[in-house]
Amino acid sequence: MKFQLFATITFLSLTGMSPSSAQEWQLHSIDNVGKGADGVRFTDVNHDGLLDIACGWEEAHETRAYLHPGANHVRKPWPKVVVGKSGRVEDAVFCDLDGDGAFDVISASEDKKILIHWAPEPSDDFLNPSAWETSVIPSSVGIHNWMITVPLQIDGKHGPDLLAAGKGNQVVWFESPPDARILSDWKMHVISEKGGWTMGLTAVDMDADGDLDALMSIRTMNPGVRWLENPGPKSDQTKPWLVHEIGPSDTAMGFVSVADLDQDEILDVVSPAMSEKKLFIYRGMDHSATLWETIEVQLPKDRNKGIAIGDVNNDEKTDLVVSQEFAEIYILQHDGDIKNGNWDLQKIASGGKFDDITLYDVDNDGDLDVFTTDERGRQVIWCENPTN
């Protein structure tokens, strides 16, 4: 395990609003029927150039899929289908696992199982709930509460594999067999015991060696931000992966995002703190992703959960969007660079219980909107950017 910390710089966020904050962000619900919408994942499943949505509904015990209706209709409820019952589902994601051209949905459930909802073929039946079939990966049963899965190709064989973590120490990947429909042939490999209550898990080439590593943020039971180094397909990827700690291991973290914030061609990592009134920027100092400079940005409250990175106001500067779990969504904009400058705080939404957030130009008007879920009211929502 490697841990290197270069320096710590603290910025205080300004509570005053920027001039653009006078423009109101309007909230739109695309589905508020039921309770417990818990995060959204995006993929263009029907090849129309528009991103569609998979969403787990934890309290409704089901997983739903939504088709983007076109820019002129995004402010109304979207076409949807219940793809299957999934128990206390925490995460849902699209992936064509069996290679038939139709995008299936994978659900990670706190009922200690991972489910696959097989999509119908032809795609004309996509919105027909009776055309979907649900199966459970046997090797996933009883391990721990599953929180998230990430489809990716790990071993270079057969179809997509699945990276997975939950509320437990084990981080694993499920090896896709020659026939993905034979669920008993999916093999589980434990690659780390440094998991915990996993909030964020993403596949990204952290060390620029050509393969996808696992970047994760942990809330409890080994809290912190770390990445697991993929040894590559020429090595034994079924054995434990090398763990690289990015930040302190005593802070409960929210979700995690990665981007080159300072345009130095080295990845930076951003994660808000659940247990503190802070957001952490881990500035990458080399291409090996083992040397980090920590920048702390002060926030008004704790319980900070979701994080997204992008140019929200089209000023050619990178902004950070943060969801505070029980109250608000903020935009953080800086007047310099990420090391030297003041951060300005803009609140764009309040109320409810917010999850992770995604930036996407939903209405195709040239600016990034904010997509999230509100478990306690409006459910699957997006905040309309007033910039354009």
Is pLDDT above 80 for 122? no
Contacts 24+ apart (CB under 8 A), 376-379: 376/352, 377/32, 377/351, 377/352, 378/27, 378/29, 378/32, 378/352, 379/29, 379/31, 379/32, 379/33, 379/34, 379/35, 379/37
Q: In the block, which residue shows the tokens 């939903």? A: 362
The reported pLDDT for the residue numbered 109 is 98
Report the chain's mean pLDDT, rounded to a whole number. Answer: 93
Q: Are 384 and 26 in contact (CB under 8 A)?
A: yes
The reported pLDDT for the residue numbered 15 is 46
pLDDT interval class at 75 (50, 70, 90):
very high
CATH code of the domain in which 55 resides: 2.130.10.10
Transcribe 203-225 into DSSP letters: EE-TTSSSS-EEEEEESSSS-EE
The reported pLDDT for the residue numbered 3 is 41
| Average pLDDT rounded to a whole number, residues 231-245 | 96
Share of the chain above pLDDT 70, in %: 94
Q: Spell out the residues 6+ positions from residue 321 whose beta carbon is closer than 8 angstroms to its own.
A: 306, 307, 308, 309, 310, 312, 329, 330, 331, 332, 357, 359, 370
Task: Specify the number of domains making up the chain.
Answer: 1
pLDDT in tens, 309-332: 999 999 999 999 999 998 899 999
**Domain membership of residue 340 as a residue range:** 2-384
The reported pLDDT for the residue numbered 19 is 42
What is the distance between the alpha carbons of residues 384 and 388, in angstroms, rounded to a whole number? 10
C-alpha distance from residue 200 to each of 84, 162, 225, 311 (Å): 24, 15, 9, 22
What is the distance between the alpha carbons of residues 127 and 104, in angstroms, rounded to a whole number? 13
The reported pLDDT for the residue numbered 11 is 53
What is the distance between the alpha carbons of residues 296 and 60, in angstroms, rounded to a whole number? 38
Q: Whole-prediction pTM value?
A: 0.94
The reported pLDDT for the residue numbered 249 is 83
Measuring CA to CA, which residue among 288, 283, 282 is closest to residue 247?
282
Higher pLDDT, 161 or 18: 161
Q: Is the peptide bond before 233 cis (omega within 30 degrees of 0)?
A: no
Is pLDDT above 50 for 78? yes
Is pLDDT above 90 for 172? yes
The reported pLDDT for the residue numbered 9 is 57
| Average pLDDT rounded to a whole number, residues 152-157 | 97
In this structure, what are the phi and psi dihedrals at residue 192, rounded to the nearest 5 degrees? -165, 150
pLDDT in tens, 267-308: 999 999 999 999 999 999 999 999 999 999 999 999 999 999
Q: Are 326 and 303 in contact (CB under 8 A)?
A: yes
pLDDT interval class at 21 (50, 70, 90):
very low
